[in-house]
Amino acid sequence: MGDTPVRVKFWGVRGSTPTPQVENLGYGGNTSCVEIGTPAGETLIFDAGSGIRNLGNEMMRRAAGAPQDVSLFLTHYHWDHIQGLPFFVPLFGAKNRVSFYTGLDSRPVRDVLEGQMSKPYFPIGLDQVAAQREFEVIPEGESKSVAGCTVIPFPMNHPQGAAGYRIEVGRSVIVYATDYEHGNAKLDSILLDHARDADILICDAQYTPAEYETHRGWGHSTWVNAAHVGREANAKRVVLFHHDPLHDDAFMDAMVAEARTAFDGPASDSIVAAREGLQIVL
């Protein structure tokens, strides 16, 4: 690719529910939303948790009135991955187009998202917003080429299902694997295949190993498993993601220190925890 790098920016990193409480704000209280900025200056968005509100405002500033073509990929439809959508300002611009994609084929994506904004939940329906909308399920085994990126969905072990994504931009590879529980041999091996040689593996790490023992079947993983997958897949960097609402900043600092010490040594930054505003440039 050209000289302009690929950017990965975290707008929401919290799992389950927003936590706007002061002791959590170092890592952030908004729910899942990750932006990938391409070398051509285009934006891909992964998940529409409450973090997408700030991203939408930033996109409006950047566009300065120019039409926007937004590509939004959803992992699944649990609240913490869609709840920011009604407040995503580009939806309300008549010159804009928003394309919704998912690798999850359990329900029609359009019905689910329109349902979220239907009466009596929200005053404006998704079918009434000004932006042009498109909805597309990417069939299993297929990929989507958009904005110079190849986006490859894959199924993950999660209650009601979730799609992970491998995103290839030039020579850079980013893997987004949140809302995933380890322990299903077939799906673990699918994740490993898709995470192969990633520059960045963003991985569900909601629990400590001790917490996991009382949360089996809840659909989330641990920092130990995230680090193992990263190592097995030869990923350059693992980003711990989907932080538990109960994990305040001090807890998160300790978790990252423990993960680094266990895997690559305390001085290494090959394991980081996602925090709101963190930007990684490839």
- For Zn ion (CB under 5 A), the number of binding residues is 4
Q: Does 182 engage in binding with Zn ion (CB under 5 A)?
A: no
| Contact stretch for Zn ion (CB under 5 A) within 11-19, 54-62, 188-196, 262-270 | 11-19
Q: Does 80 engage in binding with Zn ion (CB under 5 A)?
A: yes
CB of residue 149 to Zn ion, shortest distance in Å: 23
Helix 249-263 to helix 223-232 angle (10° resolution) is 40
CB of residue 51 to Zn ion, shortest distance in Å: 12
- Considering only residues 85 to 124 of the shown chain, the ones binding Zn ion according to CB under 5 A are none
The residue among 212, 134, 218 whose CA lies nearest residue 180 is: 218
Q: Does 47 engage in binding with Zn ion (CB under 5 A)?
A: no
| Contact stretch for Zn ion (CB under 5 A) within 12-20, 35-43, 66-74, 182-190 | 12-20
- In DSSP terms, which residues pair with 167 in a beta bridge? 151, 174
Neighbouring C-beta atoms of residue 221, cutoff 10 Å:
29
* Residue (15 or 86) nearer to Zn ion, CB: 15
Pairing outcome for strands 132-137 and 97-102: parallel
Backbone CA torsion sign across 116, 86, 138, 279:
negative
* Residue (37 or 204) nearer to Zn ion, CB: 204
In three-state secondary structure terms, 155 is strand
Residue nearest to Zn ion (CB): 78
Q: Does 179 engage in binding with Zn ion (CB under 5 A)?
A: yes
| Contact stretch for Zn ion (CB under 5 A) within 4-12, 73-81, 128-136, 259-267 | 73-81
* Residue (6 or 109) nearer to Zn ion, CB: 109
Residues in contact with 162: Cβ distance below 8 Å, sequence separation at least 6, in sequence order: 75, 76, 104, 155, 156, 178, 179, 180, 219
CB of residue 117 to Zn ion, shortest distance in Å: 19
Q: Are 131 and 98 in contact (CB under 8 A)?
A: yes
Helix 223-232 to helix 185-195 angle (10° resolution) is 60
CB of residue 133 to Zn ion, shortest distance in Å: 23
Q: Does 248 engage in binding with Zn ion (CB under 5 A)?
A: no
Residues that bind Zn ion (CB under 5 A): 15, 78, 80, 179
